[in-house]
Amino acid sequence: MDYHYTTAELCRILAGQSYHIPQNRCFSDFAIDSRKIQPGGLFFSIVGENTDGHLYIEQACKNGAQGIIACRDKLPPGGLSLEIPLILVADPNRSLRDLAKDYRSRLASGFVLAITGSNGKTSSKEIAADLCRFLHPKVNATQGNYNNFIGVPITILSASLDASWWIVEMGTNHFGEIQTLSEMVRPNLGMITNVGESHLEFLENMEGVACEKSGIFAGMDSGTIVAIPSDLRHSDIVSEQAIQHGIRLVRYGFTSWKSEISPDYSATLRECSSEQACFEFLDQLFEVSTGNSLLLRNLLGVLTLLYLHNEPPDLLCEACRFLNFEVKGRMQFRQMPSYLLVDDTYNANPTSFNEVIQSLRSLYPQKRLLVVAGAMAELGKQSADLHFQLGASMPMLGVKYLFTFGNNDATYYIEGWKTRNKESENTFHTIDLNKLVSTFNQVVKKDDIVLVKGSRSAHMEQFVDAVMSYE
């Protein structure tokens, strides 16, 4: 944090009560991990999925914390009498967001770009951050996937108040989360990358996903620009929500896209290979070091927003020459001695899985495509059916062999595959990683393209590590 908050200010902002702590004590650093607290820092005793920060108050104090944000009901026995420097609040998690909201209000001259969507949030965020860093002296962006109720406030509180841009990724898996994050972040610009079958366990259906992504409008001023792809599914829901909030929706797309609504800003692809692409946009010829259609569509959305924010097209074109599209576990191309391994293990849902397969087929139309798949998580009651449907579509999309891994819904991929492909022997399922690697190595051939994908809970990165060690 660049701003030094006093105890008195914190109590006012967080509706808290202080104990054993001077009212004029200043804090400019914070942590939610007791091991990472800096001497003199502020420790938030947040409650996470796996642990409770209140259990680590003593450790935080030993490591130098001079202020503890905590809930009275969760204090250790005799907590108020232990001379712990406390600020007691109703909910430390909420307090973390409240402080981030106040900190955001202190950003005087910089701009905030918020990005949400079912897929492509992180790659779009990285693209935006790289482009902005080329154009401006100081940019802060979400680190890794810190895009939830805990990660976004950490991103905000860690940003510099003198930065030109804050690039903030916002994720969700429950209704109302994007709205709450947007009201905290108050974006000056926004982007919805897509609407797909993600987090259906709680968002129920695609319409629910579209409604939840539209929550990005909640914290925006009337007239704020939000970019969406021209082929966005359920764009009618998004458009209706945009009108209610006074948001200006701008559609972008390539001329090759099949979309019912024409884009406001379109680009024409001129050349494309696995390693590079050229496209015309804004009367410029953009050259980039990727032919991945998913990355190109995200790049186009970011370029559209920056152009509408008065960034010169020629400078945007120049900045694109220096873009690095490598993001660990996200369409990461690894050239093995005899085949190409595509590591997309970071996450998965039906929409992203289909799009990645189609992208690889267009990039390598003459080569065999093999898929090594783990289960897709958070699909709720539709999980088995969505795995089945995806498995059934793979042969039609040009997949030649399907490996599945895990004691879960991954088995439904193969059931679906067998309804559409007479070569049902071109599948293999196991819960044993060593057997998976052994069988894969017997099947893979020279020049094959191998896609590895699954949700985080599937741990498909273990397969990637194993085959790379084997080679």
Average confidence (pLDDT) over 358-374: 92
Average pLDDT, the chain: 92
Of 275, 295, 320, which closes a domain?
Answer: 320
Range of the domain at 401: 332-470
Distance between CA atoms of residues 419 and 395, nearest Å: 10
Which strands form 399-405's sheet, in the order they lie side by side?
A: 332-335, 340-344, 449-453, 369-373, 399-405, 427-430
446 and 382: one domain?
yes
Of 42, 62, 92, which closes a domain?
Answer: 92
pTM of structure: 0.82
- The C-alpha angle with vertex 185 and arms to 57 and 44, in degrees rounded to 5, equals 5
Decide: 401 and 376 in contact? Cβ < 8 Å.
no
Average confidence (pLDDT) over 204-228: 93
Residue 98 in domain: no
pLDDT 10s digits, 140-186: 999 877 889 999 999 999 999 999 999 999 998 788 899 999 999 99
Q: Which pLDDT score, from 0 to 100, does residue 424 have? A: 64
Q: State the DSSP code for 403.
A: E
The more confident residue out of 255 and 346 is 255
252 and 382: one domain?
no
pLDDT 10s digits, 383-394: 999 999 999 999
Name residue 181's beta-bridge partners. none
314 and 338: one domain?
no
399 and 449: one domain?
yes
CATH of the domain at 69: 3.40.1390.10
- For residue 466, which of 447, 430, 440, 443 has the smallest C-alpha distance? 440
Q: Is the pLDDT at 461 greater than 80, yes or no? A: yes
Q: Which pLDDT score, from 0 to 100, does residue 420 have? A: 78
Distance between CA atoms of residues 426 and 157, nearest Å: 51
Distance between CA atoms of residues 173 and 171, nearest Å: 7
424-428: long-range contacts at Cβ-Cβ below 8 A with a sequence spacing of 24 or more? 426/400, 426/401, 426/402, 427/401, 427/402, 427/403, 428/401, 428/402, 428/403, 428/404
pLDDT 10s digits, 220-276: 999 999 999 999 999 999 999 999 999 999 999 999 988 889 999 999 999 988 789
Task: Report the 10 Å Cβ neighbour count for 70.
Answer: 27
- CA separation, residue 376 to residues 39, 85, 161, 432 (Å): 42, 44, 39, 18
- The C-alpha angle with vertex 64 and arms to 69 and 83, in degrees rounded to 5, equals 60
Three-state secondary-structure class, residue 324: coil
- For residue 240, which of 224, 256, 217 has the smallest C-alpha distance? 217
In the block, residue with structure tokens 């030649």: 400
- CA separation, residue 75 to residues 45, 46, 78, 80, 455 (Å): 10, 12, 8, 8, 36
Q: Is the pLDDT at 458 greater than 70, yes or no? A: yes
Decide: 85 and 66 in contact? Cβ < 8 Å.
yes
H or E stretch including 10?
helix 7-14
Three-state secondary-structure class, residue 401: strand
| pLDDT tier, 471 (very low <50, low <70, confident <90, very high otherwise) | low
Residue 13 in domain: yes
Q: Which pLDDT score, from 0 to 100, does residue 30 have? A: 96
The more confident residue out of 198 and 72 is 72
In the block, residue with structure tokens 């190109």: 296
Instruction: Take residue 287 and report the two structure tokens written for it.
Output: 């050259």
113 and 169: one domain?
yes
Q: Which pLDDT score, from 0 to 100, does residue 348 have? A: 87
307 and 431: one domain?
no
156 and 176: one domain?
yes
116 and 48: one domain?
no
**φ and ψ at residue 273, rounded to 5 degrees:** -135, -175
278 and 146: one domain?
yes
pLDDT 10s digits, 12-45: 999 999 999 999 999 999 999 999 999 999 999 9
Instruction: Take residue 371 and report the two structure tokens written for it.
Output: 């898929």
**φ and ψ at residue 78, rounded to 5 degrees:** 70, 25
Average confidence (pLDDT) over 117-122: 88
Distance between CA atoms of residues 100 and 32, nearest Å: 13
Report the number of distinct structural domains present in the chain: 3
Work out whether the CA dihedral 140, 146, 149, 154 comes out positive or negative.
Answer: negative
| pLDDT tier, 470 (very low <50, low <70, confident <90, very high otherwise) | low
Average confidence (pLDDT) over 194-201: 73
pLDDT 10s digits, 401-445: 999 999 889 999 999 999 877 666 799 999 999 999 999 999 999
